[in-house]
Amino acid sequence: AGGLRRVLSFWEKPSPEIARACMERGGLWNTFVMVARAATLIEAGRRTLPELSERLARIAPLVGSDPEASILESAYLRVPGANFSADVLSAVPSMLAVSRMPPFTWSDWGTPDRVIATLRHEGILPHWLQELATTA
């Protein structure tokens, strides 16, 4: 609805004042529905999290080897934590584009109970939900 538009700034969890000002100027709220080429995400990560990128590049030759899982686990345990939205997306707005979505109802599916509540509200009763209702 309205085509793609460039992103000038990306704020992760803006204050209410910043959010209100952005929305008044036509800003969009990030629903985190994303479409991207893997190469673009990798490049964004390389630019913003160089330590992680370098660590993964060093272990790339070991992919497919027997110790791959333990080497990957070790690499991730030693790298500082990062937030994808705050540390990557907000740092590379020039790599982002947005599209205005049509009106919709938001539902936070952070727990199984929320997913089930949404399905019931929408009148969607998959067989596993019907079975759950009869066993509960």
pLDDT for 89: 92
Question: pLDDT tens digits, the chain, 136 residues: what are they?
Answer: 568 888 988 888 889 999 999 989 988 888 778 889 999 999 999 999 998 888 888 888 888 888 888 888 887 788 888 999 999 999 999 999 988 777 777 777 889 888 888 888 888 888 888 877 776 6
Q: Which H, E and C letters describe the chain, residue by residue?
A: CCCEEECCCCCCCCCHHHHHHHHHCCCCCCCCCCCCCHHHHHHHHHHHCHHHHHHHHHHHHHCCCCCHHHHHHHHHHHCCCCCHHHHHHHHCHHHCEEECCCCCCCCCCCCHHHHHHHHHHCCCCCHHHHHHHHHC
pLDDT for 136: 63
